[in-house]
């Protein structure tokens, strides 16, 4: 009688263990969050694996992974952090590849800035210019390169406000506190995003390509789900979604597709 009572609990417990092993923990750089949600939706249509997403800045994830955070996959906003993790021996060999190349956009939520974004920047006709901290975020570093190539560093510097990542930079502009902001194009595109204002797509030649790498972490050695998701990332289907959100083609599959 007593045993029967416990049996239910034990079965429940075993069940949760099974459910646990089916899920994949994925750390995702903030700029890729919209895109990743669409990708996961697509992936889960045809797969039993559950993807548990965490969004944040790559630097924080790097620190957490070094201290044993239980992520199986890490989608960084740059190449430096996956590279460092590789050197730390925390990555499964040969798992790293570039999943997306980011595009930088200068965005304004002000209706009267439509079609005038580039001019407004060059004239200095704005209150604040938001950018992600160049020291921390690759999109911030790219923004700095653009300002350098336009010779606008000295004239605009006193009007900079810096977000600690690209999501916060977006917030500064969307709340109307900054007239202009350098953000990721992917934050503005995609089906579910409500558009405000307008943007200037910064020409690629004005900054180094924002290559974003993914790695399979050592804790994923036995996790088939993580591998399945990584394979999915290289399919045409996934690459199509990534391109839809404004990223450039990254792997050979997509290069063929583009040609």
Q: Applying CB under 8 A, which part among 92-100, 169-177, 212-220, 245-253 lies near other proteins?
A: 169-177
Give the residue, chosen from 177, 196, 204, 234, that forms a contact with other proteins under the rule CB under 8 A: 177
Closest to other proteins by CB, 129 vs 248, is: 129
Give the residue, chosen from 86, 164, 211, 228, that forms a contact with other proteins under the rule CB under 8 A: 164
Closest to other proteins by CB, 81 vs 207, is: 81
**Could you tell me the smallest distance in angstroms from the CB atom of residue 219 to other proteins?**
21
Q: Does 29 participate in binding other proteins (rule CB under 8 A)?
A: no
What is the H or E stretch that residue 168 is in? Answer: helix 166-174
Closest to other proteins by CB, 80 vs 228, is: 80
Block residue for tokens 């050197």: 87
Closest to other proteins by CB, 182 vs 245, is: 182
State the Cα–Cα distance between residues 101 and 258, nearest whole angstrom: 14
Q: Applying CB under 8 A, which part among 8-16, 100-108, 159-167, 249-257 lies near other proteins?
A: 159-167
Instruction: Say if CB 189 and CB 244 are below 8 A apart.
Output: yes
> How many residues belong to the site for other proteins (CB under 8 A)?
22
Closest to other proteins by CB, 43 vs 107, is: 107
State the Cα–Cα distance between residues 173 and 1, nearest whole angstrom: 64
Two structure tokens written together for 16? 């949760």
Chain residues 123-152 in contact with other proteins, contact rule CB under 8 A: 128, 130, 133, 135-136
State the Cα–Cα distance between residues 249 and 100, nearest whole angstrom: 7
Closest to other proteins by CB, 128 vs 211, is: 128
Q: Applying CB under 8 A, which part among 3-11, 35-43, 161-169, 236-244 lies near other proteins?
A: 161-169
37-59: b (≥16 Cβ within 10 Å) or e: bbbbebbeeebebebebebebbb
State the Cα–Cα distance between residues 183 and 39, nearest whole angstrom: 21
**Could you tell me the smallest distance in angstroms from the CB atom of residue 12 to other proteins?**
32
State the Cα–Cα distance between residues 29 and 58, nearest whole angstrom: 5
Instruction: Say if CB 40 and CB 230 are below 8 A apart.
Output: no
Chain residues 36-95 in contact with other proteins, contact rule CB under 8 A: 57, 59-60, 62-63, 84
**Could you tell me the smallest distance in angstroms from the CB atom of residue 115 to other proteins?**
21
100-128: b (≥16 Cβ within 10 Å) or e: bebbbbbbbbbeebeeebeebbeeeebeb
State the Cα–Cα distance between residues 101 and 194, nearest whole angstrom: 23
**Could you tell me the smallest distance in angstroms from the CB atom of residue 221 to other proteins?**
25
The site for other proteins (CB under 8 A) is made up of 57, 59-60, 62-63, 84, 128, 130, 133, 135-136, 160-164, 168, 171-172, 175-177
């Amino acid at each position: 009688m007593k045993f029967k009572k416990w049996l239910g609990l034990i079965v429940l417990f075993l069940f949760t263990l099974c459910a646990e092993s089916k899920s994949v923990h994925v750390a995702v750089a903030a700029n890729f969050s919209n895109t990743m949600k669409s990708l996961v939706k697509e992936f889960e249509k045809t797969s039993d694996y559950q993807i548990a997403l965490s969004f944040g800045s790559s630097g924080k994830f790097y620190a957490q992974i070094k201290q044993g955070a239980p992520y199986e996959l890490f989608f960084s906003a740059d190449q430096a952090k996956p590279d460092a993790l590789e050197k730390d021996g925390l990555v499964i060999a040969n798992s790293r590849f570039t999943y997306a190349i980011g595009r930088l956009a200068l965005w304004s939520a002000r209706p009267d800035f439509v079609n005038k974004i580039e001019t407004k920047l060059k004239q200095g006709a704005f209150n604040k210019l938001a950018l992600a901290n160049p020291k921390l975020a690759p999109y911030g570093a790219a923004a700095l390169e653009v300002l350098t190539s336009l010779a606008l560093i000295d004239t605009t510097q006193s009007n900079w406000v810096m977000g600690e990542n690209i999501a916060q930079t977006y917030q500064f502009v969307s709340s109307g506190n900054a007239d202009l902001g350098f953000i990721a194009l992917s934050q503005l595109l995609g089906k579910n995003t409500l558009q405000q204002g307008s943007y200037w797509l910064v020409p690629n030649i004005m900054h180094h390509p924002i290559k974003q790498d993914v790695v399979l972490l050592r804790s994923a050695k036995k996790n088939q789900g993580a591998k399945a998701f990584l394979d999915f990332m290289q399919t045409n289907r996934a690459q199509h979604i990534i391109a839809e959100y404004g990223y450039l083609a990254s792997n050979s599959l997509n290069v063929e597709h583009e040609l």
